[in-house]
Amino acid sequence: MSTLVIGETDWPTEKGLCCLSLADLNRRGLMLCRDGKLKFHDASGEWHEVDHVLWRAQGPRDAKLQHSALSLVAASSAECVNSASSLLQYGTRILNHGALRKGGLPVITSCPILGSNGLSYFYKAEFPSVLKVGDWHMGYGKCKVSNLEAWNDAVDMAAIADEIVSVEPFIDYRRDLRVLLVGEDLIAVERFPASHQWKANVCPSEIKRVELLPELAHMTRKAAALLGMSILGVDWIEDKKGAWHLLEVNPSPGLQMEEMDCRPLALKLLQRNSH
Ligand SMILES: Nc1ncnc2c1ncn2[C@@H]1O[C@H](COP(=O)(O)OP(=O)(O)O)[C@@H](O)[C@H]1O
Ligand SMILES: [Mg+2]
């Protein structure tokens, strides 16, 4: 029995566990055998059967490679968390926002636009807005725009990326929470933005574990059910009137939250799913 972690290389060494970056996997080889089994090559002559995959890759940098590897995993008999088909279906911000909104969750209103003309000439911006270019994480590809001059500059920068650009209202939030769900377990941290940052997740001045409001716990579990995922990180912001807005669902969230290392929970989940 073996577990392959795809997309991260720093998991504690454990018998039967192998971690590979996507680039390494691509160099060595991933194979869907005729009998439906999944195997990876160890680069020294042997193929190894994979029973479980823990999918930890994300982001647009190697999106094509991710899609190819996920297709093999989805078609194989290996158990994958999150399931490869849910990742293929809802792995990006735009796809999962749509499903979550249809499911009744308070997803932030956002207007994704394809094509630089649409953005540069035909879209009427309101201020302050947030521009999110493509599907980058960790604050990358996002800017807050407060006036027309800054908007024009931001649009000029965004236009050359050839990616979908989402425009959202900037919400002057009073709290920013990351809620991590691993199976049945829920953990929440509050992030406090640095004085020079509007993004609370980029070099926050403080991160602290907080008790989860039942309302957010319920909505986070509902997000997981709607997407068919059992591991996810959901970012919530609370506006000045006390309403919560779902900013994003991260299907491969960081599993180390402050002093908590949730990686063993993820492994346990994978093993439990196989019985
Ligand atoms: N529309 C918004 N209004 C106010 N703050 C926002 C908005 N969108 C994002 N933020 C801030 O930026 C952070 C990062 O945005 P997010 O959409 O979660 O992208 P990332 O994938 O980069 O984490 C959020 O945690 C929040 O603090
Ligand atoms: Mg986020």
For 228-266, what is each residue's pLDDT tens digit?
999 999 999 999 999 999 999 999 999 998 889 999 999
Distance between Cα 120 and ligand 1 center (Å): 23
- pLDDT, average across residues 83-101: 97
Encode pLDDT of 22-60 as tens digits: 999 999 999 999 999 999 999 898 999 999 999 999 999
Residues 69 and 6 sit within 8 Å (Cβ to Cβ)? yes
For 3-81, give the CATH class.
Answer: alpha beta
Mutate to test the pocket of ligand 1, among 199, 202, 236 (most ligand atoms within 8 A of CB): 199
The protein residues having their C-beta less than 5 angstroms from ligand 2 (an ion) are 235, 248
Distance between Cα 137 and ligand 2 center (Å): 7
Residue 274's pLDDT is 62
Q: Which CATH fold topology does 111-169 show?
A: Dna Ligase; domain 1 (3.30.1490)
Residue 69's pLDDT is 98
Write down the number of H helices and E strands in the chain: 8, 18
pTM given for the model:
0.97
Q: How many Å apart are CA 263 and CA 255, to the nearest integer? A: 6
Atom of ligand 1 nearest to the CA of 247: 17
Residues in Cβ contact with 12 at an 8 Å cutoff, skipping those fewer than 6 apart? 263
The residue assigned the tokens 């160099």 is 27
Residues in Cβ contact with 143 at an 8 Å cutoff, skipping those fewer than 6 apart? 130, 131, 154
Domains in the chain: boundaries: 3-81, 93-107+172-256, 111-169
Q: How many Å apart are CA 133 and CA 140, to the nearest integer? A: 8
Tell me the residue type at 207.
I
Report the first-to-last Cα separation within the chain, whole angstroms. Answer: 13
- pLDDT, average across residues 149-157: 97
**Residue with CA closest to ligand 1 atom 20:** 137
Q: How many Å apart are CA 249 and CA 232, to the nearest integer? A: 7
Question: For 107, which DSSP code?
Answer: B
Q: How many Å apart are CA 226 and CA 104, to the nearest integer? A: 10
- pLDDT, average across residues 196-217: 97
Tell which CATH classification among 2.70.70.10, 3.40.1710.10, 2.30.29.30, 3.30.470.20 matches the domain 93-107+172-256: 3.30.470.20
Classify the C-alpha dihedral 200-203-205-209 as positive or negative. positive
**Is residue 184 very low, low, confident or very high in pLDDT (cuts 50, 70, 90)?**
very high
Equal fold, 3-81 vs 93-107+172-256 = no
Residues in Cβ contact with 193 at an 8 Å cutoff, skipping those fewer than 6 apart? 176, 199, 200, 202, 204, 205
Q: Is the pLDDT of residue 70 over 70?
A: yes
